[in-house]
């Protein structure tokens, strides 16, 4: 299988990249890890007239935990996140999700930011960012803007990004108080799309009640879903099995899965319920341990 022909350029600075994107507009497609884009091009679902390869850009492979954020640069590969001590120390949800992304070979090339910009509803990272209230930083020649994850994805494979914008980083805020999180994924085999994925974040207040809760759902709708109703039911509650059961029930209602080869819609909704409860229990344990 072969992609259609395209013009290729590999700029050496971000400014040069943004100038090319501004000039070529919708004709240009950014290539980072390529682990979603190249398969689509080979199937000719995507036929961009120009590929802008950003792999030669310096300074975009940072993982950084300063200034109140965990920041992940545009050229950070999934396996960089797996290996990162900074991530392990800073955010359980991100740390637990990374080893679940695709397979070890794809993780050596695929990027976190590229995966988010691709906006596949079966992608794991968007659920993590929804649960953690992450933000995407997008740059263009005239400046940069910060887009909350909850607004970034607008539909299947569709985001708010303009054709002249480049995602330079994604970041999640550090939390005020003992926090925990995790990512649970059911997959038929390594590298397959998720049957169901659930991202959980939780912060405890000084009264040991839940101060902040985040729940993101993968592969159970036309986009990743932020289970807002379930999150709200947790805020102010004690972290008990009853509270988790109520959140699980509400998250299952927020899910909008379809019957397919990976399972029936009812089954997937049930997995969401169970995963949310398990994830909240794990997150509570981790938050409690971090407070000790």
Partner 1 sequence: MEISVTVNGTVHSSEIEPRVLLADYLRRILGLTGTHIGCDTTSCGVCTVLLDGKPIKSCTVFAVQADGRSITTVEGLKQDGALTAVQRGFKQEHGLQCGFCTPAMMLVGTALLETNADPSEDEIRWAISGNLCRCTGYMNIVKAIQWAAKERKTEVTIPEQTVSVVETAEVNA
Q: Which residues sit at the interface with partner 1, rule CB under 8 A?
A: 1-8, 10, 31, 34-35, 38-39, 42-43, 51, 53, 55, 79, 102-106, 108-109, 190-191
What whole-number distance in Å separates Cα of residue 83 and Cα of residue 98? 9
Q: Give 20 or 38: the residue with its C-beta nearer to partner 1.
A: 38
Looking at the Cβ atoms of 4 and 235, the one nearer to partner 1 is 4
CA 54 to chain centroid:
20
Whole-number minimum distance, CB 266 to partner 1, in Å? 28
Closer of 44 and 258 to partner 1 (Cβ): 44
Shortest spacing between CB 34 and partner 1, in angstroms: 6
Smallest distance, partner 1 to C-beta of residue 63, A: 17
The nearer residue to partner 1, 41 or 184, going by C-beta atoms, is: 41
Neighbours of 25 (CB within 10 A): 11
From edge to edge, which strands make up the β-sheet containing 50-53?
Answer: 7-9, 50-53, 28-31
Across the chain, how many H-helices and E-strands are there? Answer: 12, 14
Q: Alpha carbon of 161 to those of 10, 116, 142: distances in Å?
A: 21, 11, 14
**Shortest gap between Cβ of 93 and partner 1 (angstroms)?**
21
Of 60 and 234, which has the nearer Cβ to partner 1? 60
CB of 191 to partner 1, least distance (A): 6
DSSP 4: P
Residues 6+ apart with CB under 8 A from 60: 14, 54, 73, 74, 75, 76, 168, 169
């Amino acid at each position: 299988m072969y992609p259609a022909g395209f013009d290729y350029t590999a700029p050496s600075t971000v400014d040069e990249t943004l100038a090319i994107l501004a000039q070529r507009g919708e004709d240009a497609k950014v290539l980072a890890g390529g682990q979603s884009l190249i398969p689509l091009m080979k199937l000719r679902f995507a036929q961009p007239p120009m590929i802008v390869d950003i792999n030669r850009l310096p300074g975009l492979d940072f993982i950084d935990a300063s200034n109140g954020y965990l920041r992940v640069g545009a050229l950070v590969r999934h396996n960089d996140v797996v290996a990162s001590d900074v991530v392990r120390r800073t955010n359980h949800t991100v740390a637990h999700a990374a080893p679940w992304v695709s397979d070890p070979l794809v993780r050596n090339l695929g990027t976190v930011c590229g995966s988010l910009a691709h906006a596949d509803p079966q992608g794991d990272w968007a659920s993590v960012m929804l649960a953690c209230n992450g933000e995407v930083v997008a740059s263009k020649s005239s400046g940069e803007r910060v887009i909350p994850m909850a607004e970034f994805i607008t539909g299947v494979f569709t985001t708010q990004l303009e054709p002249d914008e480049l995602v330079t980083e994604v970041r999640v805020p550090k939390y005020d108080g003992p926090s925990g999180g995790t990512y649970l994924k059911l997959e038929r085999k390594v590298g397959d799309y998720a049957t169901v994925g659930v991202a959980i974040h939780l912060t405890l207040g000084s009264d040991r009640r839940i101060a902040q809760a985040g729940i993101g759902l993968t592969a159970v709708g036309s986009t990743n879903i932020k289970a807002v109703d379930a999150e709200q039911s947790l805020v102010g509650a004690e972290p008990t099995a009853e509270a988790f059961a109520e959140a699980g029930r509400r998250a299952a209602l927020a899910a909008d899965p379809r019957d397919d080869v990976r399972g029936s819609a009812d089954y997937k909704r049930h997995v969401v319920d169970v995963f949310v409860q398990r994830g909240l229990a794990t997150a509570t344990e981790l938050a409690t341990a971090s407070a000790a």
